[in-house]
Structure 1
Amino acid sequence: MSGAAEGLAGLLDQLCPMHALLDATGHIAHAGPTLARLCPKEEMTGARFLELFELRRPARSATMDDLRALAGRGLHLMTRGAPRLPLKAVLTPLPEGGTLGPSGGALVNMSFGIAVTEAIRQLNLTARDFAATDLTVEMLYLIEAKTAAMEASRLLNLRLQGAKAAAEEQAFTDTLTGLKNRRALDPVLTQLMASETDFALVQLDLDYFKEVNDQFGHAAGDHVLQLAARAMRAETRKEDVLLRVGGDEFVLILSGVTDAARVRDIAERVIARLEAPIDYEGQPCQISASAGGALSCRYPHPQAAEARIMEDADIALYAAKSAGRGCFRNFEPSMRQDREARRSS
C-alpha cells in the first residue's frame, strides 16, 4: 500500500472497524480490526472476498466487476466459515489511480445487523470493537437494562400478587381451625352459582359446646373446635368446602351433590364422628351436632338459590334442634310453613 492508502486504512480502522478494502481482483488488501476477528488476519488478508463471504442478496456475484455493479446497494452476506453469522454491507468503488486504496478496488463497510448479540457472544466483542460513534453498544446496554428492569418488575408483580393472594387467603381463613371463615362464604356461593354447579349446603351447630367452655374453660373449647374441624374435614371430600361461620357454627358445601339421601348420609357420618368424646388434659369433652341441609338444584334460578339456600338450611337446622339435637334434617317446604305459623301465633 502507498502511504496515502496506509493512512486511509488506519483512518478506516477507527471509523469503520468492520470494513474491507478490496483490490481490483476482489481480494482483501486490508481488513478492519473487528472484521478480522472473524478469522486470523493472515488468512483474511490476500483472500478472495467472495471465498470468505457468501453474497445472499441482491444477487449472487462471481467477479469483482459483479461486486462493483452493486455499488451503493444494501448487501446481505453470510460468513462461509465458523462462526456462521449474517452480515449487512454496502460497497463503494475506489477511484482509479490508487491514491486512496487499491486501484480499481472497492471499500466494503459491513455490520452485524440483527446478529450483533450473537456476534458479541461468539467473538467476545467489547465496546472497543465498534466505532466510537456506533450506538450499537449503547443500544445493547439500554436493551439489557430494560430487560433487567422488566424482569425486576415481573418478579415484583409476582411477589405482590403472592402477597395479595396470601393476604386474601388469610382474610378468608379462620385462624383457630384453619377452615374458611364467614367472609369466604359469599365468594364461594357466588362462584358456584356463576359456574352453574349444583351443590348441597349444610348448616351445622355443635351441641353442648357451651357446657365444655363452662366446665373446662376456653382453652378446652378451642381444643374441641380444632379437633371437631379436623373430624369434619376427614368426612368430606377435597372438592367440598368447610367453613366456620361463628363460634360453634359451621357450613359444609358439598359440590356436585343433588341427592338428598346422600346429603343425609354425609351429615350423619359427620355427626357420629363428632359424638366421640374428645380428650382434653385427661378429661373427656362430650359434644354432638345438629345439622340442616338444602339442595341448590331445587331452586329454579341460581339467583334464587343464592338468596334462599342459607335461609332454608337454617330452617332445617332449627327442625333438627327441635327434634332433640344430635340429628340431621333436609329442608322441606313444610318446614317454612311451620316456622311462619309459629311466628304468627
Structure 2
Amino acid sequence: MMTEPETMRLRDRVIGLSGSALDRLMPMHLWVGAGGMIVRAGPTLMHMAGGDPAGKRLDQVINVRHPSRVKTLDQLLRLHGVPLKLCLDAAPDLSLKGMAVALPGGGGAFVNLSAGVSLVEAVNRFDLTLGDFAATDLAAEQLYLLEAKAAVTGELTRLANRLNGARASAEARAATDTLTGLANRRGLDAMLARQVDSGRPFALMHIDLDHFKAVNDTHGHAAGDAVLCEAAAVLRGQCRARDMVARVGGDEFVMVFDDLLDPRMLRRIGQRLIERLEEPIRVGATTCRISASVGIALSNAYTQPDPVRLLHEADLALYSSKRGGRARVSLAR
C-alpha cells in the first residue's frame, strides 16, 4: 500500500497527452505558451475562431471579460482555477465560459472553453455537430436533444405542409369542373360569397350554348366534350385575372366580372363571346358549330346583393335572349 506522500506525488504528476487526445477530450482548448503566444488550439475552437490561432497573442484570440480583463499571460495566470467569462475575438457577441490553469515549470497556461448558455447560438452560427464536442460534455447531450427536436419538428412541419397541400388540392378539385378545368357550381358559390362580403360591385353573365345538343346527337359525346372545352377556352379568354368563369350545367356557364357594371361594355363582351363561339370548331375530321345566348344581371340593382337572386335575374335575362331568337345578349330589368 502506498503512503500518503507517495499518493500526493502521484496525484500531482504531470500526465503527457498527445494532441489528438487533447482534441478529443477538450475540443475547445487553448494552449498559451510561456511567451504569451498561442501554441495550440482544439479543432472546435479553431473552427469558431475562423482558423488556427497558433502564433497569435492571447489577446488577439480571446477577450476575458470577467472577473477581470486579461491582456497578458501573467494576468491570465492570476486567474488560475477561477471561472471565466469571455468571448472569441472573431465572435465578440457570443458569450463563452472557461477556466485557465497554469502549466508546470512556467510553461504557460492551458484554457478550456465551453459554449455554456450560448450553445444553441453557437451551433446555429458555426454549424456545429455532436462531433465538435467532447463525448462527456453536457453540451453533447443538449445538442443531441436539439437535433432530435429539430428532426421531429422538421418532420411535423413537412407532414403539416403535405396535409395542408393535400387539403388545398382536394378543396380545389372539389370546386373545379373536371372536364373543362373551370370552376364548378361550388366554386362559383364561394366566389360570389367572397364578392358580396367584399362590398365590391360585379356583374353576372349567364351563357347557354345554342345547338350544343345537336353536336352531341350527331357527333357523339366525345365531340361534345371537345366542344365544351373549346367553349371554356373562349370564355376564359374574355376574363381578367380577377374575374371568374364557371361551368354550372351541361352546356351552361356563368361569368363573374369584378367591378364592371357598364351595360354597354358588358353587351359588347357578350356579343364578342357569341361571335367567337360561332366560329367553326374542328374535332378531328368533323366541323362542329354552336352559338350562345347570354343574360346579364348587375349587383348594383340591389341595395344588398343576393347571389341567388342575381343568378335568377341573369337566368331570366338568358331566357329572354332565347325567346328573342337566340344568339342574343339581354340585360336583366
Q: Structure 1 length as normaliser, TM-score?
A: 0.72
5+ residue gaps, structure 2, are 1-8
DSSP-derived class of the 2:229 partner: helix
Say if 2:79 is the partner of 1:76: no
Say if 2:278 is the partner of 1:269: no
The percentage of aligned residue pairs carrying the same residue is 39
Q: Structure 2 length as normaliser, TM-score?
A: 0.75
Taking the aligned partners of 1:269 and 1:29, their CA distance within structure 2 comes to 84
Taking the aligned partners of 2:331 and 2:75, their CA distance within structure 1 comes to 97
Q: 1:269 to 1:133 in 2, by over 3 A?
A: same
Aligned twin of 1:210: 213
Say if 2:316 is the partner of 1:315: yes
Taking the aligned partners of 1:319 and 1:84, their CA distance within structure 2 comes to 78
* 1:117 counterpart (100, 112, 123): 123
Residue correspondences, number:
313
* Larger Rg computed on CA atoms: 1
1:243 maps to a residue whose letter is A
Taking the aligned partners of 2:99 and 2:164, their CA distance within structure 1 comes to 51
1:143 maps to a residue whose letter is L
Q: 1:58 to 1:260 in 2, by over 3 A?
A: farther
Taking the aligned partners of 1:154 and 1:233, their CA distance within structure 2 comes to 37
Aligned twin of 1:177: 180
Taking the aligned partners of 1:197 and 1:50, their CA distance within structure 2 comes to 68
Q: 1:277 to 1:59 in 2, by over 3 A?
A: same
Aligned twin of 1:336: none
Aligned twin of 1:126: 131
Q: Deviations over 1:85-113 (max 9, x none)?
A: 86422457x8xxxxx9569x988553234
Map 1:101-180 to 2 at 5 A. Answer: 109-113=112-116, 114=118, 116-117=122-123, 126=131, 130=134, 132-180=135-183
DSSP-derived class of the 2:68 partner: coil
8 A contact 1:180–1:244 mirrored in 2: yes
DSSP-derived class of the 2:242 partner: coil
* 1:299 counterpart (278, 299, 302): 302
Q: 1:319 to 1:5 in 2, by over 3 A?
A: same
Aligned twin of 2:69: 60
> Cα distance, 1:6 vs. partner?
3.5
Say if 2:275 is the partner of 1:237: no
RMSD over aligned Cα, in angstroms? Answer: 4.2
DSSP-derived class of the 2:294 partner: strand
> Cα distance, 1:207 vs. partner?
1.4
